[in-house]
Structure 1
């Protein structure tokens, strides 16, 4: 139960709302950004941060030893997998010739990539 006289509960609720705001901004970016690479970067970064803020906020509201262990594992797993997942999506798009937005310049990978070598 949320107790607004407890400072930890107030900070926890604020962190949860900040996490939700980060995820909402990420969703808007997913819709508005022009290409796969910018979308993968925005979603990977913000998903890690947004979920971490929500988990830490929930921990502050219902703090206990077992919840602390679960929160640490969840935050570390989220930060690691969101970064790796977004890079894997971007690499897959690049290897399958997904076109970058016109504002993306220069394409340093294209300049160093040889056509006869599979990347």
Structure 2
């Protein structure tokens, strides 16, 4: 049984590392700040869950289960709030969107730092 937990724990840790590596690639390749924030937020949420769960399987105990549940819960809450705050700050400071993106908030938010001219929704195919 311990061999199975060891293998599964190592697989989860490697999967978490791959999520982080994919997010790093996304940060390097994505063109605007909003896509980059999305990549980092997703990696933070999913990658940490994989790595911490894998570590739990390598060192199983009741106290570690409590620690892992607390770590995952607190991290998911703070990661989501942090990602949203960074994206909102980028939007409110007028960080430009990629040219194919449509800004649905521009018409509702005159203080967003965007052009006062209303945006047009792209034609559907």
Normalised by the size of structure 1, how large is the TM-score? 0.88
**Cα separation, 1, equivalents of 2:111 and 2:73:** 38
The superposition leaves residues 31-86 of structure 1 with CA deviations (integer Å, 9 ceiling, x where unpaired) of: 11111111111110121100110000000010011111110011111111111111
Which of 104, 110, 114 lines up with 2:106 in the alignment?
Answer: 110
Partner of 1:12: 9
**Cα separation, 2, equivalents of 1:38 and 1:103:** 12
Runs of 4 or more consecutive aligned structure 1 residues displaced over 4 Å after TM superposition: none
Normalised by the size of structure 2, how large is the TM-score? 0.84
Provide structure 2 residue ranges, at least 5 long, that are not aligned to the other structure: 113-125
SS state at 1:109 partner: coil
Which of 48, 65, 69 lines up with 2:62 in the alignment?
Answer: 65
SS state at 2:8 partner: helix
Partner of 1:52: 49
Q: What's the C-alpha RMSD, in Å, of the aligned pairs? A: 1.7
How many residues are treated as equivalent by the alignment? Answer: 112
The structure with higher relative contact order (CA 8 Å, sep 6+) is 1
Provide structure 1 residue ranges, at least 5 long, that are not aligned to the other structure: none
